[in-house]
Amino acid sequence: MARKLPMVHCRVCGEEIDRNIDPEGQKWLMTSKNYFYHRKCYDNWKKAQLDDDEQYIDLIYDFIVRDLKESYDWWVCEAQRKKFIKENKMTNKGILFALKYFYEIKKGDWKKGHGGIGIIPFIYNESCAYWAARERQSEGLIKEIERQMREATERPKVRVKKKEKKKKVVDFSVLDNLEDDE
pLDDT digits 0-9 by tens, 58-91: 888 888 888 888 888 889 999 999 999 888 888 8
pLDDT of amino acid 35: 76
pLDDT digits 0-9 by tens, 18-40: 777 776 666 776 766 677 788 88
pLDDT digits 0-9 by tens, 132-175: 888 888 777 778 887 887 777 665 555 666 666 677 666 666 66
Tell which phi-psi region holds residue 49, choosing left (phi > 0), alpha (psi between -120 and 50) or beta: alpha
* pTM for this model (two decimals): 0.54
pLDDT of amino acid 31: 66
Average pLDDT over residues 95-117: 91
**CA–CA separation, 171 and 182 (whole Å):** 21
What are the two backbone dihedrals, phi and then psi, of residue 6, each rounded to the nearest 5 degrees? -70, 160
| Amino acid (1-letter code) at residue 58 | D
Closest CA to 63 of 77, 48, 42, 83: 77
**CA–CA separation, 62 and 150 (whole Å):** 10
**Please, which pLDDT band fits residue 122 given cuts at 50, 70 and 90?**
very high
